[in-house]
Chains A and B, each alone.
Chain A
Amino acid sequence: QKEVEQDPGPLSVPEGAIVSLNCTYSNSAFQYFMWYRQYSRKGPELLMYTYSSGNKEDGRFTAQVDKSSKYISLFIRDSQPSDSATYLCAVGGGGADGLTFGKGTHLIIQP
């Protein structure tokens, strides 16, 4: 059964803090891992894409995948008020039958 668990929040942190967002998944067949950012009433925007285990860094964002623990993380350094949004994790396996999403974490960065 496809399943991805994600704490819905809200998570409120002060500007400049390091933010840690996490998801767990149950199916070890997943091998593609993504983080999306979604502003209110907009479509999700791809932030990070990782294949298999390891870290990937892009500016202030770092994505981490631990396949042995079935655990994925997104770290945001020097958080800004513009980072306030809902963050969705997504996982994919073989085939083209679509991604499985977490329910999203609502993040609030306080100025």
Chain B
Amino acid sequence: SQTIHQWPATLVQPVGSPLSLECTVEGTSNPNLYWYRQAAGRGLQLLFYSVGIGQISSEVPQNLSASRPQDRQFILSSKKLLLSDSGFYLCAFNMGQQNTEAFFGQGTRLTVV
């Protein structure tokens, strides 16, 4: 069966420090991969998506970047965190060419202090 792993679960980082969140998918190949951020009262905001290795699309300009170095690995990064980067970050995947059902990891709660 297909599974998605995301870590760490919780992270507290100082302003100006770098960030690296990792997500991996098992049990499938060539998934579409997504990073969402969830803020209180604002729902899930799509940050990045990838349909293949090295292919990254950004939905909103921000202090973050994403990379897909391997087929089933998706990384969210920042060189210098801002207070506004605090939030709940979720990785997700789906299969196929369409926006069908997506499956989520357990999320990373990031607090920038």
Contact = CB atoms under 8 A, between A and B. Distances in A.
Main secondary structure of the interface of A (DSSP, over half): loop
Contacts of A88: 43-44
Nearest to B31: A96
B34 interface: yes
B63 interface: no
Interface in A60-111: 88, 90, 92-99, 101-104
A32 B99 contact: yes
Contact of A97 (B44, B99, B105): B99
A42 B106 contact: yes
Main secondary structure of the interface of B (DSSP, over half): strand
B100 A32 contact: yes
Interface string B41-53: 1111010010100
Tier of interface size on chain B? 20 to 34
Contacts of A101: 43-44
Interface string B73-100: 0000000000000001010001011111
A41 B110 CA distance: 12
A45 B90 CA distance: 12
A18 interface: no
Contacts of A36: 104
B100 A41 contact: no
B34 A103 contact: no
A59 B106 CA distance: 25
A77 to B, nearest CB: 22
A97 B44 CA distance: 14
B102 interface: yes
Given A41-B109, A101-B43, A96 B94 contact: yes
Contacts of A45: 104
A104 B43 contact: yes
5 contacts: A43-B6, A43-B90, A43-B105, A98-B102, A101-B43
7 interchain residue pairs of minimum CB distance = A92-B99, A43-B104, A103-B43, A101-B44, A98-B46, A49-B101, A96-B32
